[in-house]
Amino acid sequence: MSLLPLVAALFVTAVLFALFVASQGYPAFDALALVGKGAFGSTFAWQNTLSRAAPIMLTALCVALPARAGLLIIGGEGALALGGLAAAMVPVALAGWPVLLVQGLMALAGFVVGGGWIALSGWLRYKRGVNETISSLLLAYIGAAVFNFLVEGILRDPASLNKPSTAPIGDRYVIGAIPGMDVHWGLVWGVLVCIGAWWLMRHTVFGFAVGVAGGNPRAAQMVGLPVGRLMLMACFLGGGAAGLAGMLEVAAVHGDANADLMAGYGYAGILVSFAARHHPLGVMAGALLVGGIGASGSLLQRHLDLPDAATLVLQGMLFVSLLAFETLNRKGAQRV
């Protein structure tokens, strides 16, 4: 496993971004320096980066786990939104219950709803032969529409005037900051889930079976593995991780479910999973990188007056050059 494609992709991305910024009439080198500074340049930057990395590493698992089963799922955004919405309903229904129990049930609700959403794509693929990449992407749009329909409809808190939201989960149930840092506990959740996913996929009978089913479904069938069920399970777990990301965003950041939940973390997870070659531990490093890019946005805006979307351009460039270098690398390997 070589890091060369990643390094090359980062370099090319930096060059492309500098050219892009320069073509808009902004100082290119200052912009690059500000990205570095805004992501990792200070304690404040680090905390901002880490807060963003927490949901991204979870949505990245939504790509990485199905990828082990040979499926390319890119609809994590829908699972995140619906998972977050389901989680936001729990404290409303169970107001007054013990904090840890409610938070646990919120996580469970987010996990199950997000997992079920992505499992739909797996099911369509296995039963009906529908391409899972396309169906998961389309389901993400449907998920967003369902989310808006509910949040602006029956689940809307009448008190939320300008910005339709569900009823607040209440201060009691908010997930707080890690002591001594301005980063919420969601980061720890994310790291633990990544480690758990790595152990599950690389060291257990289940993970091995999923790897066989993804590596060659015909061979898996020949040795009697339930390929469809393994695909479904991998999709469910991946979607569950994205749903958990939605729950953390609700419980630690927003305090209710509203349209801000769909901030693109689901799509950033695709980039991170590819950068990590779908390795559950590599995903954590990738999430730092992409979280950092996101965190640098406000600095770019303040110092250079660059629009916030500049960070999205940077992410997109990174994704495209990463895919290009990975493909080149694989071709090279085949030639030998």
Q: How far is the CB of 73 from another protein (least distance, A)?
A: 19
Residue 327, CA distances (Å) to 5, 19, 271, 332 in order: 9, 24, 15, 9
Amino acid at 17: F
204 binds another protein (CB under 8 A): yes
User: What does the DSSP assignment read for 109-152?
Assistant: HHHHHHHHHHHHHHHHHHHH---HHHHHHHHHHHHHHHHHHHHT
Amino acid letter, 201: M
Contact in structure between 31 and 300 (CB atoms under 8 Å): yes
Q: Using the rule CB under 8 A, which residue among 219, 302, 307, 332 binds another protein?
A: 219
Q: Considering the rule CB under 8 A, would residue 225 count as an interface residue with another protein?
A: yes
223 binds another protein (CB under 8 A): yes
Distance of CA 211 to the CA centre of its chain: 22
Of the two residues 124 and 200, which places its CB atom closer to another protein in the complex?
200
Among the listed ranges 128-136, 177-185, 199-207, 251-259, the one in contact with another protein (CB under 8 A) is 199-207
327 counts as binding another protein under rule CB under 8 A: no
Instruction: Give the nearer residue to another protein in terms of CB position, either 29 or 208.
Output: 208
Among 98, 104, 176, 215, binds another protein (CB under 8 A): 215
How many angstroms from the chain centroid is the CA of residue 43? 24
- Determine the Cα–Cα distance for residues 267 and 294; give it in Å rounded to an integer: 13
| Amino acid of residue 50 | L
Which range in 107-115, 122-130, 202-210, 304-312 contacts another protein by CB under 8 A? 202-210
Task: Check residue 221 for interaction with another protein (CB under 8 A).
Answer: yes
332 lines the binding site for another protein (CB under 8 A): no
By CB under 8 A, name the binding residues for another protein.
203-209, 211-212, 215-216, 218-226
